[in-house]
Structure 1
Amino acid sequence: MSKLNIGILYGGKSTEHEVSLRSAESVLKAVDHDKYNISLIYISKDGEWMLSRDSEEIKILSEDNTEALTLIPSKHLAAGDTPLKLDAVIPVLHGTAGEDGKIQGVLELLDIPYAGCNVRSSAVCMDKDMTKRLLTLQGIDVADGTVIKRQHRDQVKFEEVKDSFGLPMFIKPVNQGSSVGVSKVTDEKSFYQALDAAFSFDTKVMIEKGIDGREIEVSVLGNTDIFVSLPGEIISSTEFYSYDSKYIDDDGAVLQIPAELSDTVTKKIQQVAADTFNTLDCEGMARVDVFLTEDDTVIVNEVNTLPGFTSISMYPKLLEVSGVGYSELIDRLIELAIERHQLESRLKTDR
């Protein structure tokens, strides 16, 4: 059986560019090179696409060790005059322009199968406001909150918001990941500082009531038939699970994998994760993050359609403890990408 040609797409125009490199390193290390020919495709912070001449190492690429890639709609990619034929792409991109549907749209125009959610669900899940609206319609619990647009920034009054949501509250950009721009608010001064911080990353920000509960995460894998992992718990040593806690501070949090939960609560969380995945029309993969309150209410916090793939990331670690190893996970994501592409390729495009 011939090897499949697989692209690992990493970097990107995102605040999580460096995290993407770390995730891509882990994927490259775990992928079965006996099954796949690997092409490393790097997107610079300026948005330039480059093909590595050396597929042995994930690195920040430059003109010295790459070929520039040309994007040709419906005809894949080309390095100079040579087409780059790919059977599937694994987008190891996080944050804006990575998990918000933009890259997914480019890959669809290039007619290349790709791992993870499609354009629509990627965009919806990245937008925390839209995510909450759809989950609420389905009867899935989410935190109370409100969304403020930039043009209404000066109309927001601390006392009015405090009366609605109490303290502490959280302020976050609507379209960001990995807790970038997220602040915990405990008083009037931190409230306005948090608004400014969030608006520096997005034109819409969300103000949410603080939830007193355990932070639980669940990995979901599949297209129509989905597999839900055992839950894991984030035990943060800081005020909340911030960007630094996730990627910089080695002592920022303890990951309890699997979480210490009763069978009944475990199944309840897994069902909420499955219902969330299906409600948002996710495919391939997603990590569902929830709060578990003292009375065992499960409140969905957010859904990450391109979760971290570093060696310490929850998504692969939760699947591993649930019986799906890292290398097997990559195999499955490639299979799911090709399966969906084949199904969609059979759809009619004319009458």
Structure 2
Amino acid sequence: MSNQAPTDIHVLLICGGGGSEHDVSLRTADFIQRELASAPDIRLTRVTMDADGRLLDDQGQLQELRSDRLLYSATGSAQPVHYVIPSIHGYPGETGDLQSQLDILGLPYFGCGSEASKICFNKITTKLWLTALGIDNTPYQFLCANTPGEVAKARDALQKWGSVFVKASNQGSSVGCYKVSSEDALAEALQEAFALSPYVLVEKCLKVRELEVAAYTYEGELVITPPGEVCAPTDTFYSYEEKYAEGSRAQTHVVAEGLSEAQLGWIHEASKRAFVGLQLKDLSRIDFFLTDDGEIYLNEVNTFPGMTPISMFPKMLQNQGHDFSEYLAALIRGALG
């Protein structure tokens, strides 16, 4: 790769993935495609990854990214790829798998690297890292098998905490997440979670305010926005459907109200520790819980946050006075310069 950025930058936008978050990934790609349309030196090709990992253009024709960093069409023609935007939520985009392939090809890409993506997508490894970084997170039990000894740990947690969330460790956007308040429901929730993941988290259910911070690099500096707030319906937890459905009843506030200077300071410090310590790159959305007792827990780190019309990350970036299209175009040019 030359030190001189090409005047005609060809960006490959990969979306879809064929998993449970396929449709949301398409909507995020729609947003990114619109934002980059105003950059005169950037030419974008969009492909959709299916469940078999094949890349298809808008005509359904196969496209193939090979080791020579050329994108080959079904007709045999090829064009060089300079930069990749992996707009895939869940597997394989947020799990680090796609990033590992791009690392092998030597192609720069938007978002966090393979190792950071892998750590943050797994709810258990995230908690271990947060503890190592001195960042409080929600009390939990870790189950490695659906066996009587491990299930006993889950029952003890339920008895101690009253109600719990049972979570598959490596699913995104509330997929594989079940609220349990009785022993009768616990066995079924564990069975469903273990069907999705080899490891399961049993987490204390708390009455909280849900706060979100956008953390991203802009002109070489780490920007951490004030926290926004998601107010989910009181009769359910913030499910996958509530996060992304056009008819979602969840309300969002770009800037959360009523937080003390001490609370704002700790959220900023914890966000910085997480971004730097986990070696995140380009962007992340960092989610916090604020309990009625004033305790603050870092809930999760999203290495590729949603960018749909109701998503918080682009709203918080804009509220910070930053233009998303300029932000992304500058990252692309900087990676190639």
Q: TM-score, normalised by structure 2?
A: 0.89
1:43 aligns with 2:49: yes
Going from structure 1 to structure 2, the CA distance change for 1:332 and 1:313 (only over 3 Å counts) comes to: farther
Percent of aligned positions with the same letter in both sequences?
31
Residue number in structure 2 paired with 1:5: 10
Q: Secondary structure at the match of 1:200?
A: helix
Residue number in structure 2 paired with 1:240: 237
Residue number in structure 2 paired with 1:253: 250
Q: Is the 8 A contact 2:214 2:224 kept in 1?
A: yes
Deviations 1:187-234 (A, max 9, x none): 112222221221232121111011232100111112973111121101
Deviations 1:72-123 (A, max 9, x none): 2353432254333122111110012111100101111222110001111010
1:143 aligns with 2:138: yes
Gaps of 5+ in 1: 53-64, 343-351
Q: Is the 8 A contact 1:77 1:110 kept in 2?
A: no
Residue number in structure 2 paired with 1:210: 205
Q: Is the 8 A contact 1:76 1:112 kept in 2?
A: no
Residue number in structure 1 paired with 2:3: none
Alignment of 1:170-209 (within 5 A): 170-209=165-204
Q: How many residues align?
A: 326
Structure 2 CA distance for aligned equivalents of residues 276 and 193 of structure 1: 34
Q: Is the 8 A contact 1:181 1:198 kept in 2?
A: yes
Gaps of 5+ in 2: 1-5
Structure 2 CA distance for aligned equivalents of residues 285 and 333 of structure 1: 11
Residue number in structure 2 paired with 1:114: 109
Going from structure 1 to structure 2, the CA distance change for 1:200 and 1:112 (only over 3 Å counts) comes to: same
Residue number in structure 1 paired with 2:91: 96
Matched AA of 1:77: L
Q: Post-superposition shift, 1:153?
A: 6.6
Structure 2 CA distance for aligned equivalents of residues 85 and 263 of structure 1: 51
Residue number in structure 2 paired with 1:160: 156
Q: Secondary structure at the match of 2:147?
A: helix
Q: TM-score, normalised by structure 1?
A: 0.86
Q: Secondary structure at the match of 1:156?
A: helix
- Comparing 144-153 and 209-218, the one that deviates more: 144-153
Structure 2 CA distance for aligned equivalents of residues 216 and 274 of structure 1: 15
Deviations 1:132-187 (A, max 9, x none): 111101211011112212453774035323244x1221111111111111111111
Residue number in structure 2 paired with 1:56: none
Q: Is the 8 A contact 1:213 1:292 kept in 2?
A: yes
Going from structure 1 to structure 2, the CA distance change for 1:187 and 1:112 (only over 3 Å counts) comes to: same
Q: Is the 8 A contact 2:214 2:313 kept in 1?
A: yes
Alignment of 1:20-99 (within 5 A): 20-31=25-36, 32-52=38-58, 65-80=59-74, 81-99=76-94
Equivalent of residue 124 in structure 1, options 107, 115, 119: 119
Residue number in structure 1 paired with 2:270: 272
Matched AA of 1:109: I
Residue number in structure 1 paired with 2:290: 292
